[in-house]
Amino acid sequence: MWFLLIGILGFAHGLEHVNILNSWNGGFEADFMVRGPTNGWTAHLVFDHPVDKIEIWRATVTSRTNGGREFVLTALPDYANVAAGDTLTVHFVARQNGDQVPYTMIYTEGSGPNTDATSSPGLTLAPSTGNNNGTNPVAPSHSTPTGPESPMKKDYKKALELSILFYDAQRSGRLPANNPIPWRGDSAVNDGADGHDLSGGWYDAGDHVKFGLPMGWTAWVLLYGMLEFRDGYEGAGQTQMACDMIRTPLEYFLKVWIPSQQTLYVQVGDGYADHGYWGRPENMNMGRPAYKVTTSCHGSDVAGDTAASMAAGYMVFKDMCGDPGFADKLLGAAKSLYDFAKNNRGKYTDCITQAKDFYGSTGEADEMAVAGAWLYRATNEQHYLDEAKGFYPAGTAWSFNWNDANAGAALLLYGITKDGRYKTDIEGLVNSFRPGGSVPTTPCGLAWRDQWGPNRHAGNVAFVATMAAKYGIQKDAYLKWAESQMNYLLGDNKLHISYEIGFGNYYPTHPHHRGSSCPTNTNWCDANSGAPNPNLLKGGLVGGPDQGDNYQDSRSDYVKNEVACDYNAGFQSCLAGLVSFAVNNDLPASPASRC
């Protein structure tokens, strides 16, 4: 039944009503409003039939009782105080079995529920008409706020749009009919091994190898941003583009995991041979060997990242992207791959030495913690959470990247549990990158972690800070720092150059990228040509400047001009987060540029 019901409560402590926004088979989304003044609030959501799980923004679920019929909600610190005359909207998504939206009501502690509207002047239950007759369940069409937006110093919406196009330029295999990159065509369509089709996925960087570890990490970081900052994508008008973008690696992951053989293919292409070829992927004719992890060649790091991506992909395609059939395939594969990873622990490069010089792994417990956390979020099965907590390697991370997923695990586990130990590790990383921390800051304000991809490290940790802000951790301070990093990358530096290609009027034109640097009408191109790349690699984030803010736009300087899938991951999800805060009129003013 698709008849929507609204439970309305009177005015104790400013809580007004629950507004059912949308529903689908398996859940619904809603919000309620808090009116000031209030100096902290705790509320009870009560349903007339069980709800499995609540995902909530601006508050936390402190208990689930009565078989899932009642949830206690407590405001996160940054949203506890509402001034007189102000309102606070709290959004949540409920997961349940079936498509019948329950009678829903909310009351504050001390007021108490009463389902008899005639006996309580503050409480009524009233129907709200739905627009679905129940024969065609639909995914939710989440509504972006239409009120005033916070000003953005840079056009984060445009930067987000461009970053999606970078991933489209990295596609391998047969391209879809709506391919938006005019200079790309089908390539490596015969990738495969042992009778398995391994075509598709993303090329790693400016080369044409498909490395499973950074691809898996990149995919779940992008999906994390899509899930938590959905209104950022919608506010930028990029929801469908993002769904098309992220489908590419997810379809590939379904190909490379062969559960009946307990085999996961984790690399296609030989890195050394590939790096000896400078040409378009469409013109490749070299051998493309494939490498796999099995029960005798362990790789729980890459298997964990891949399982995490498919579990996160299940959540995104079930709701945001509106393809529940594809979502179910992803969840089934995620579960079996997670079990494989759990039963075959080990670093993949201890076995697959061909990857060691490119993406050598130093640990796998962090990826297993991430995988367990994502499987818990997707299924609400307690054993996944218990295992994720056990896998989690506590401590302050060096950064957040393809080889160090600790901060991502901490964010996921803090979002689920609100346990202070995860908050401590999140703050330890972000504070180390902020001015005064252990990571140097360039004169113009970039957190400069390493000469290899400093822009990547700054963008990834800025995403951690933005997600932490959403979870109520040092909200204004962390958002302002994240804005400072995005603004630097988009032009607030001494060269006034945007390090994202295509953004603004001045950006790199010589990225170290084969396809971009080769004309489409020839089989030959010159890697050492001083001319700009003939094909604009829109959205690519180049490696970045040295510690003194100096940068040379030279294709031969691959340290400063490399692009890669993992370089854009946190950068894009941070942009989505900043747009999300802006469209909700909740983004603090950007700090002033230091140059």
Q: Which amino acid is at 459?
A: G
**In 3D, which of 536, 530, 574, 580 has the Cα closest to residue 556?**
530
**356-369 burial by CB neighbour count: b if 16+ within 10 A, else e?**
eebbebeebbbbbb
β-bridge partners, 30: 20, 92
- CA-based angle 211:299:193, to the nearest 5? 55
C-alpha–C-alpha distance, residues 354 and 299, integer Å: 14
Half-sphere exposure at residue 448, Cβ-oriented, CA atoms within 13 angstroms = 16
Active-site residue, 48 included: no
C-alpha–C-alpha distance, residues 368 and 413, integer Å: 12
Name the active-site residue from 207, 228, 274, 364.
207
C-alpha–C-alpha distance, residues 225 and 573, integer Å: 5
Query: For 203, left (φ over 0), alpha (ψ -120 to 50), or beta?
Result: beta
| Bridge pairing between strands 70-75 and 196-197 | unpaired
Active-site residue, 207 included: yes
Name the active-site residue from 48, 155, 186, 553.
553
Q: Are residues 200 and 293 in contact, defined by beta-carbon separation less than 8 angstroms?
A: no
**In 3D, which of 162, 118, 286, 74 has the Cα closest to residue 575?**
162
Which residues does 95 contact at the CB level (< 8 Å), separation at least 6? 26, 27, 51, 52, 53, 54, 55, 380
Q: Is the peptide bond before 37 cis (omega within 30 degrees of 0)?
A: yes
Rg (C-alpha) for the chain, rounded Å, is: 24
Concatenated DSSP letters of 425-492:
HHHHHHHHHSTTSSS-B-TTS-B---SSSHHHHHHHHHHHHHHHHHTTSSHHHHHHHHHHHHHHHTT-
C-alpha–C-alpha distance, residues 366 and 312, integer Å: 16
C-alpha–C-alpha distance, residues 215 and 220, integer Å: 9
How many residues does this entry show for the chain?
595
Written as six digits, the tokens of 192 are 């495969």
Name the active-site residue from 228, 562, 566, 586.
562
Name the active-site residue from 191, 512, 513, 586.
512
Query: For 13, left (φ over 0), alpha (ψ -120 to 50), or beta?
Result: left
> Which residues are tagged catalytic?
207, 512, 553, 562
